[in-house]
Structure formats: C-alpha cells, structure tokens
Amino acid sequence: MTATSPRHASSDDPRVILDEEIGVFEPVPPYPPRTEREAEFYTLRDGEMFINLGPQHPSTHGVLRVVLKIDGENVVDLDPVLGYLHRGVEKLCENADYHHAIAYLDPLEYISSLFCEWPGVLAFEKLLDVEVPRRAEYIRVLATELNRILSHSLFMGWMALDLGGLTPILWSFIERDEIAEMLAALTGQRLLFNYLRIGGVNGDLNHDFMSRLGDWMSRATTQIEANAGLLNENEIFVRRMRGLGRIDGATALRMAFTGPNLRASGVPLDFRRAHPYSVFPELDFDIPTRDEGDCLARYLVRIDEIKQSLRIIDQCIHEMPDGPIMAKLPRLLRPRPGRAYAAVEGPRGQYAAYVVSDGTDQPFRMRIHDPSFIHLQAVGMLMQGNLIADTMAVMASLDPIMGGVDK
Amino acid sequence: MDPVLRRRLEARFGERLSGPVRQRHDETEIRIGAGDVADTIRALHDEPEFGFTFLADLAGVDTGTHMQVVYHLWSETTPDWLRVVADGLSRDDPRVPSITFLWDGAEWMEREAYDMFGITFEGNRDLRRIYMPPDYQSFPLRKDFYLADDAARSPGAGVRHMEQTHAPRNAAPAATIRRAPR
C-alpha cells in the first residue's frame, strides 16, 4: 500500500527511510560469555561468521538450535543450544503417583516410547520386588521389538530426507503405518503407547493384533529389503555418507556412546547380551557390529538390527507362554525406601532410569537417562572441517530425538 | 549381587567408603565423600581388576538435607551395575570434581546437574545452563522449588509459578521439603 503518513509506513516500502535500525538477528548471545568454552566459541577469527540453524528447521530432528561457526561453506565449530522442548518430566514425576509416572515417561522419545517406559517400570519393579509373569515378559519383548522396527524405519526415511531424498521417507511411513496400526490394535495407541504397567502389560494379545502381525511378518523381510535397497546402493547416498563423521571405538566409549552408534564404531556392546534383562537370555539373536564408524556404518547397523528384531519377534510368537499378563499388586503402591537403577537397550542406545524412593506412593527422585542427549554432544567433534550440508547428515546418523534430549 | 565385587571394593577403598557396600538385585552401591570422587572413579576406570570404563549415568539428587551426585558405571568384570554416590554436598554451595577428564561425554550430564541443582563441577570447561534460559535464576529440581499443581497455587490465584522458591502459602511449614531416608 502506498504510505502517505509515517505512522502507516511499512519497512518493506523502499521509499521509506526509518530512523531506527531494524535489528538483525545475531546468533551471538547478548551477555558476556559464561565459560571458557563459550568465550572460545563466540570469538571469530578472520573470515569466519556465525549462522544459526534455528530451532525451527526441518532437519534438526525436533526443536534444536545449533549455532554454526562457518568459514565459507566449511563448519569450523558448532554449539548446540537445547531446552526448547524441556518439559520438566523429572519434576513432574516427583509430584505424581508411580502409575502416573509411566505415562509421563512415554513422550520422552516419542518414536520409541515403549523403550522410555520400560526402564522406569523395571526400576519400580525392583523397588517393589515384583516378579513379572513370563507371558507378560514375552509380550513386552514382542511389543518393544516392533517399536524398534518402527524407530529404525523412521531413522532410515529421515536420514534420506535430511540428505534430500524425498521417496524413502514415504516408503518408511508406509512401513511404519502397518506396524502402528498393529500396535494400536494391541495397546490402543499409535504413537505414545502407555502399555507397560508395573508388574506386566496393560492388555493381552488379541485376535486383531495377531492376525495383523502374522500378515505383516510374512511380507516383512522382503519389504525391508526393498526399502533398504532404495538407499544401500544409491551412489549419491553412499558417497555422501561414507567416511563422514568417523568415530573410533575408544573415542566413542569416552563420549559415553551406546547403542548402534557405539556398535558401528566396532564396540560390540549391547545390553540385551551384556547385562540381560527380561527374557533375552532365552532368545537367539546376533548383535550387528561394524568397524568403520562413519555415517554409512551407523545406517547399515540399524538396517541389520531390523532383521535381528524380526528374528526376535518370530521367536516370541512361537514361544509365547500362557499365563497371566499382570502380577498381583495392590492399587496403592508404596515401595520400600531405597534406590534402583534399570537400563534397557533401545533403538538409540541405553535408556535408563534411576529411582529414589522414600517409602511414599510418589517417587522421590526420578532420573531419566537418555541416549540422544549423550550423542548430541559428539556432533561438534565430528563436524571439524566438514560442509554445512554434512551437519544434517552427521546429526541424522546419530539419530537424536529432541523429546529425549530435552526431557 | 556380586560378592567378589563387594570384597574388592572393600579391600581397595575401605577407608574412603562412608558406610557398607550395599547390594540389591543387580546393583552394588558405594558412598564416598565429594572430595574423593576424582581419585575413586579414576581408580575404578584405570585399574584392570575393576575396569569400569563405561559411564552409564551421572545424576544429581537433592535429598532435602543435602545434595548428592550419583554415578552409574558398568564393567565387563562384573555382572552388577556399580553406583557411586558422592554424598554430603552442602545445599548452599555443592561442589564436586568433574569427571570430564575420563569421559568427554560427562560434560553435558554435568551441565544438566548444574542447571537443575546448582552443583558446581570443578574442572568442567563448559559449566553453563543447558535446558533453562541463560538468565534463569533458580534451580528447578531442588526440593525447595515448587510446581503449581493445584488451582489454589496457579497463576489465576495470583501465584507466579515459573520461579516459585517459597513454600505454598496454605501448607504447613514443616512438611514442605521432602526429605529422603538414609
């Protein structure tokens, strides 16, 4: 619109000259640096500039802000800024019942929510000295391995999407949709399942779930081969990922890595074997490991893990025992005063819960340990001298979920 | 419950432990003072009979009377988780040595404990807030930080809930801070 009076002037109108400078958003914080690392990061050398990979971005796996210090197209250093999805879950759990706390744990890593519930439930069961019936344990393993496949399919699609491939994400969501419908028949929910309970699971296997599962299992292997085949030998994908973000086993252990990120660097540590829980000692599966430690290795390890999950699901279906699905427990739960730590092997690594109980029906301290939080620290180390576009590839290969990072 | 691990811990660290080595289910717990953290964890990491080279978790705990930092370690030499509790940190100025010299991955875990409790990790190069905004004044997971969880203490009743560090107005004063049992 033509501006006649200064009060209606628009800053986009080229004829208008404003008295005040329109501030340009600077990624540099407006306060003096608080630590030596912050001071070192926010001083620019010759030719460098800051660019903000803002919290609103399609490739940051959630609301993550990363301040990149770039020299042309090369990233010299980066500083992740977290907290955009911080919901105070640990504090909320202190104010809630033990049963309510399980529902708070679900939206932490929403893609693999059964794995977020499981260590909390295991820690509560340790404090209550409850033994879970065998049928419930097998159902837990079955549901969580399906959740692992859900998570890894999303990883595969999202990895390609961050590199610019638009087809694999749609294929992976077709895959996920079938499994989500299956789990909806079992648990009632497609994403945040709220299925595990203290002492067992919420509902038994039903006909709808079993028929969908049987139907899907007959096609699953070929479907996963087809999905992975889109990318495994795609020249662009392989050339972008091979050799990028290489991390060796000793460094990965120093960075407290767990899960596929650690196994892709040559360390065969899987808590289902190293510190077995539930019925994993009775199940037969391999632990895929690779030595290269680059983005491609992390991708291939996860594809191999999907195949191992299918083996586990197959065994669970055939060896499912009969019996109750919940231990007999009073509704008002007062565990003994004490501390318990429980960890499970999730699709991203070690999910753990450390619960301090004071003898009341509310947890005194509910500490949630999340693997994505740990892995995101490594992005700065892995990005030395790489291009801006490789930031997305490296972050996607570490597979963070911001719900877990920010709690 | 690994009796071999308990004997080794008592033999090696006997005088530093404030209390017996406790074991329950698949966990072994030792309690040490804040000053002994760096030496003890380095010994657990480096010595081959312990071999705790995997840091599983680093957490802060506010027991109401004092603060703790709790480390969970894992080793291939024992089937148990090892819990190292650095006990007895004062609530006014909790300080503990940083273990970032052993594990770089501990840096953000210590930042989170600082952000949520105010525990200073001496030796951490980057001890700044990680979840809360940089100008935030309180430490949210402390026991004297209250969430408004009923209408009487909600913004509708005039309560500024985002940084409330006083007890609820209608609660008995003695019962406000939860204290953990020993």
Rounded mean pLDDT of B100-122?
93
B contacts of A367 (beta carbons < 8 Å): 57, 59, 61, 70
Chain Cα centroid distance, residue B21: 18
pLDDT at position A116: 94
Q: What is the pLDDT of residue A7?
A: 55
Spell out the domain ranges in chain B: 3-122, 146-182
What local confidence, expressed as pLDDT, does residue A373 receive?
Answer: 93
A126 inside 8 A of chain B by CB:
yes
Q: At residue A76, does pLDDT exceed 60?
A: yes
Predicted local distance difference test score (pLDDT) of residue B153? 54
CA atoms of A245 and A266, how far apart (whole Å): 14
Distance CA B39, CA B57 (A): 18
Is a pLDDT exceeding 90 seen at residue A143?
yes
Cα–Cα–Cα angle for B34, A407, A142, nearest 5°? Answer: 110
Instruction: Find, in chain A, the residue whose alpha carbon is nearest to that of B145.
Output: A91
Partner residue facing B56 (CB), from A343, A364, A407: A343
Token digits for A313? Answer: 């699901």
Q: Please indicate if any CB of chain B lies within 8 Å of the CB of A148.
A: no
Cβ within 8 Å of residue A186, ≥6 positions away: A143, A195, A203, A205, A206, A209
3-state secondary structure of B74: strand
Among B27, B132, B179, select the one facing A341 at the smallest CB separation: B27
CA distances from A266 to A239, A257, A269, A373, B38 (A): 21, 12, 9, 21, 29
Chain A environment of B53 (Cβ under 8 Å): 253
Confidence (pLDDT) at B15: 87
Three-state DSSP state, A68: strand
- Would you state the structure tokens that stand for residue B179, as one six-digit string? 């204290």
Contact with chain B for residue A262, Cβ under 8 A = no
Average pLDDT over residues A147-159: 93
Q: Scanning every residue of chain A, which has its alpha carbon at the shortest distance from the alpha carbon of B146?
A: A91
* pLDDT score of A1 more than 50: no
The model's confidence at residue A133, banded by pLDDT at 50, 70 and 90, is: very high
Q: Which residue has the tokens 């491609």?
A: A296
Strand order from edge to edge, sheet including A338-345: A338-345, A350-357, A363-369
Mean pLDDT over all residues of chain B?
A: 83
Biggest distance spanned by C-alpha atoms of chain A: 82
Type of residue at B59:
A
Full DSSP string of A251-292:
HHHHTT--THHHHTTT----HHHHS--TTGGG--------SS
For range A90-113, the mean pLDDT: 90
What percentage of residues in chain B have a pLDDT greater than 70? 80
Residues A90, B141: C-beta atoms closer than 8 Å: yes
User: What percentage of chain B carries pLDDT values higher than 90?
Assistant: 44
DSSP string, A169-208: HHHHHHHHHHHHHHHHHHHS-SS----EETTEESS---HH
Amino acid A241 reads M
In this structure, what token pair is assigned to residue A399?
Answer: 């597979």
Mutation target for A interface from B25, B52, B115: give the one with most A CBs within 10 A.
B25
pLDDT in tens, B45-78: 999 999 899 999 999 999 989 999 999 999 988 9
**Superfamily, domain B3-122:** NADH:ubiquinone oxidoreductase Nqo5 subunit (3.30.460.80)
Quickly state the pLDDT bin for B151 (edges 50, 70, 90): very low
What is the per-residue pLDDT for B138?
83
Tell me if residue A379 falls in helix, strand or coil. Answer: helix
For the cut 80, the answer to whether the pLDDT of residue B44 exceeds it is: yes
Mean pLDDT to the nearest integer, B127-153: 78
CA distance A99 to A333: 9
At A22, the pLDDT band (50, 70, 90 cuts) reads: low
Q: What's the pLDDT at B157?
A: 54
B91, B18, B24, B88: which is closest to A337 by C-alpha? B24
- b/e per residue B16-26 (b: at least 16 CB within 10 A): bbeeebeebbb
* Nearest residue on chain A to B115, alpha-carbon basis: A83
User: Would you call A82 an interface residue with chain B, using a CB distance cutoff of 8 Å?
Assistant: yes
- Count Cβ atoms within 10 A of the Cβ of residue B119 and give its class: 0-12 exposed, 13-18 middle, 19 or more buried: buried
**ipTM for the assembly:** 0.88
pLDDT tens figures, A251-286:
999 999 999 999 999 999 999 999 999 899 999 999
Rg (CA), chain B: 19
CATH number of A89-406: 1.10.645.10
**Mean pLDDT along residues B124-151:** 81
Of A365, A374, A406, the CB nearest to B105: A374
Which of A29-33, A97-101, A285-289, B97-101 bottoms out in mean pLDDT, i.e. has the lowest? A29-33
For chain A positions 346-365, those within 8 Å of chain B (CB to CB) are 350, 352, 354, 356, 358-359, 364-365
Contact B70 A31 (CB under 8 A): no
